[in-house]
Structures are given as structure tokens and as C-alpha cells.
Amino acid sequence: MEKNPTDITAYAVILVRNPASLHRGLRKLVGLPTLKRSAIACQRVTGERTLIALPDEASLALCQEKLGATADLCVGLPDLMIRLQRRFRAQANAPRVLMLDSDLVLNPKVLQKIADTSCAPLVTSPGGLACVPAETAEGLVQASRDPDDLLKKLPALGAKKLHLEIGKDMARLDFSGGRQSANRMLSLSVRCSTDSFLGGLNRSVALPMTRGCARVGIHPNAVSILALALAILSGWAFTRGDYGGFLSGALLAYLSTLLDFSDGDLARLTYRESKFGCWLDSACDYLSYFLTFGGIMVGAYRAHIMPGMVSLVSILSGLVIGVVVFVSFRIRLSKKDGRPDQLDAHLQTAMRRMSDDPVIRLAEILAKLPTRGDLAYIVLGFALLGQMRAFLIFMSYAVHIVWMLALYIGWRAEQRGLFDASQLLASEGTAAPGTVPSQHSEIALPS
């Protein structure tokens, strides 16, 4: 459903100083031209198409070729003024304008906080970024000769200053080493708060792989398929039933896990997240569990170390029930807010807000163990020790503990409305794109 133009609360403008800035902005940064990356990031936090103000007519054709329909384009400040007036004419309450230098690359999480805060105007100390009321933005455009002159006026606004840390919160492409700093900052920005220690380690180890895939343009879904292919090879190696087979299967499972971390990071870095990609990744994860345990069981049977039919039935039934539980959670989220990929964030939020429950506290301790990233280390540890029989006995209990705790958390979360997208956003202190932040909200920006 299209948004009513009178609902706009924020609008982003990217200012290109000169042809040199345009050249830097059209170079790829982690797989995407910087201007395209900034335009998409701004659109996500404001809910509106970003406007890029270009220095001359020659820049227009080049940007249309390189950026396509990613953003709206205008040439010069007179055209920018017309666009702003046209955009805000129908507004009952003038929205804010997020003005950004094309050479400034922001951590997307910081950009989201700036867009959400009601404390306007905000200005960066060295210039290059401002979040100001519409009338202030129009006044700046009228009083400036060109985009470069406009950007130089930002620090003189006398507004609340933002002190952003270079390399962590921002990077400038016109500084020495700026592109390398931006690469590192963006790569670290995709880390998930729900990662365990081992999960964070996996993400760090997989980072060069993720960057390489971004540079050559590999699609995240292709990485998911490759991870599944390695899981198939892992399951086949486990079926050999000897020490070498178990160890090589565990190593292949670990490589598959690294690719599983890489596909999600790659999707976030290149703005290719999708519901289909989430479901594909989930399906590959679930299949990998069955391939891992199935291969180990066949190998254990051939090596005459199978703990018994009870363990076999227990593991398989626990896996099936667990998959059904988590798939039902994702379907529920998909119907409510269209974001099945946010399941981990919802469950983590639910556990934090219900920590007075002793069962929930136990779940918080155990929650990260059943993830694919941690399971790879558990399998590898047992394989190195040559104790795959003990691993199967351990997992015959663990799989049932996992689905029972997940079901309990989901039941309690549903009672308290924590599967509602607005409840999650409120608990995390962010507003959905295009919504009006509370007048009492505060922004915790880096100092």
C-alpha cells in the first residue's frame, strides 16, 4: 500500500560536491556503488526515496546509468529547491530533512538512530551531515551557491552537535584510507546482537569470504545453496564410519556453517535481504541438521557404535518437532510484519523482558547452544575425541530440551504480545521507517 504524501516525517538529500566526489561515490564499496548504498540506507530509515543533488548536467547521465532507479536525481540547488518545495507543500507539519555529504559513509545503525531521534536540528561537528526541519533546509538551499557551499554552512547552524567516531560510526571517502575504513566499518555493522561468542567468531572468520563474494557479485542465495552442498558432502563423509570420515565430515560441516554465516552478512551488506532468501536459508539450515545427524547415525551403525534404537528415534523425532516449532514461529512473524528473518531478535527480546521467569533464565543460558554455528564446534570436538557414540547420546536429550524451551518461550511471548513487530521495535528503542518518533525519545549517540 502506498504511503500518503502527508505522512512523510523525514526526507533524505545526498549532496554531491563536485565531479571528484561523484567519481568516489560511483566506485563500489563492498559490492555496491557508494551513492547507491547511501541512497538505499537513507530510504530504509526514512521510508522515502532519497534525492541526490548533482553538481552539473554531465553528472546526470552518468548517475542514471550507474544508479538506475535507486534514487531521485536533480541538478543544482535551484532544482533541489523546487523538489523540496514540491515535496513539502502538502505537509500539515513540516518534516525533517536528513542532509548528507556524498563523501560521508555512515554506519547504518547510527543512521537509523539519527533518523529516529526527535532532537532536531542535529549537525556533525566537522560538517557533512545534518538533520534539520524542512524550513531550515529550504533556507540553507536558498542561501547557498552550490552543494559545496551548502555543506560548509552546516557546522554554523548552532545546533546540537553529533560527535561520530571515524572508523566506527562513520568514514569519509575524501580522507586518506577512507575507503578501507568504510569497508571495515560496514563489515562490522552486520554483526548480530543475538550471536554467541562462537557465532561472533564464525562471523569474523567468514568475513573475508563475505567480502570476496560481494566484490565478484555472488548472490546470497547462491552462497546458501553452496553451504547446503557442503552439508551434503559432510553427511556423506560421516557415513564412512571411521575416525577419518567423522573428522572430515565435521570439518566440512564447519565450512558449511561459515558459508551459512556469510550468506546472511552478504545479504545485509548488499541490501539483498528478502523473505525468499530467509526461507531458503532456513530450509538449508534445517536440511543440514538432518544431513549431519543422518550421516553420523549411518556412520555409527557401520562402525558398530550406535547407542540404540531409542536414541535414533529420539534424535529424529526431536529434530522434526524442533523444525515444526521454529517454522511455525517464522510463519507467524511473516504474517504479522513480513520479517521472518527477525525470529532470533524477537525471541531474544522476549527472554530479556521475561527474565523473572526461572525457565526463561535457563533458556537464556542454553539459547545459543542449538544454533548451527555452535553445533559445528560441538560436532568437531566429539569427532576429534573419537566419541561420536557419546555425541549421539548427548543429542538424543539436547534436541528435546531445545524444542521444549522454544515452545515455552513462544507461548509466553505470545501471551505478552512480543511477536508483534511494534512491540519488538518499542523494546529495542527504534521506530519503524516512516513513523513519527515519540517526542520524549532520546538518542544515545556515540560521544
Q: What is the pLDDT of residues 58-94, one digit of tens each?
A: 888 888 888 888 899 999 899 989 888 887 776 656 6
Cα–Cα distances (Å) from 325 to 314, 335, 347, in that order, read 16, 16, 13
97 sits in which H/E element = strand 96-101
| Whole-number Å distance between alpha carbons of 5 and 49 | 12
Predicted pLDDT of residue 336: 67
- pLDDT recorded at residue 417: 65
Cell digits of residue 447: 560521544
Q: How many CB atoms lie within 10 A of CB 333?
A: 22
At 390-400, the pLDDT tens digits run 999 999 998 89
Q: Going residue by residue through the chain (447 aa), what tens digit of pLDDT does each one get?
A: 334 433 446 789 999 999 999 999 999 998 899 999 999 999 988 888 899 999 888 888 888 888 888 899 999 899 989 888 887 776 656 678 889 999 999 988 888 888 777 666 787 766 688 888 888 888 889 999 888 888 888 888 877 887 788 888 889 998 888 899 998 898 888 877 666 777 778 888 988 899 889 888 899 999 999 999 999 999 999 999 999 999 999 999 999 999 998 998 899 899 888 888 888 988 999 999 999 999 999 999 999 998 888 888 999 999 999 889 888 878 877 776 666 666 766 677 777 777 778 887 777 766 655 567 788 899 999 999 999 999 999 999 988 988 888 888 877 777 776 555 444 444 444 333 333 333 333 333 443
Q: Is 228 helix (H, G, I), strand (E, B) or coil?
A: helix
The DSSP secondary-structure symbol of 387 reads -
**What is the distance, to the nearest Å, from the Cα of residue 430 to the centroid of all Cα atoms in its chain?**
15
Residue 256 cell numbers, joined: 558449511
The reported pLDDT for the residue numbered 235 is 95
The beta-strand segments (E) located in 126-285 are: 129-133, 160-162, 170-172
> Domain map of the chain by residue range?
5-187, 196-428
Residue 193 C-beta-side C-alpha neighbours within 13 Å: 10
Q: What angle do CA 114, 168, 179 make, to 5 degrees?
A: 105
Give which of 152, 262, 279, 147 is closest to 213, Cα–Cα: 262
Q: Which fold has domain 196-428?
A: Four Helix Bundle (Hemerythrin (Met), subunit A) (1.20.120)
Q: In this structure, are residues 144 and 153 in contact, taking their beta carbons and an 8 Å threshold? A: yes
pLDDT of residue 420: 55
What is the distance of C-alpha 43 from the center of its chain?
Answer: 15
The grid cell for 115 is 533518523
Cβ count within 10 A of residue 271: 16
* Chosen CATH of 5-187 out of 3.40.50.300, 3.40.50.20, 3.40.1480.10, 3.90.550.10: 3.90.550.10
Q: Which bin fits 308, alpha (ψ -120 to 50), beta or left (φ > 0)?
A: left
Please count the other Cβ atoms lying within 10 Å of the Cβ belonging to residue 254: 19
3 state SS of 10: strand
In 3D space, the residue among 372, 412, 359, 369 whose CA is nearest the CA of residue 394 turns out to be: 369
Nearest of 298, 275, 277, 260 to residue 374 by alpha carbon: 260
Q: Which helix (H) or strand (E) holds 404?
A: helix 388-415
Phi-psi region of 417 (alpha: psi -120 to 50; beta: other; left: phi over 0): left
CA 6, 92, 444: angle at the middle one, nearest 5? 80
DSSP 96: E
How far apart, in Å, are the Cα atoms of 229 and each of 252, 290, 328? 10, 13, 26
Q: How far is CA 212 from CA 26, 28, 187, 263, 284, in A?
A: 19, 13, 12, 12, 22
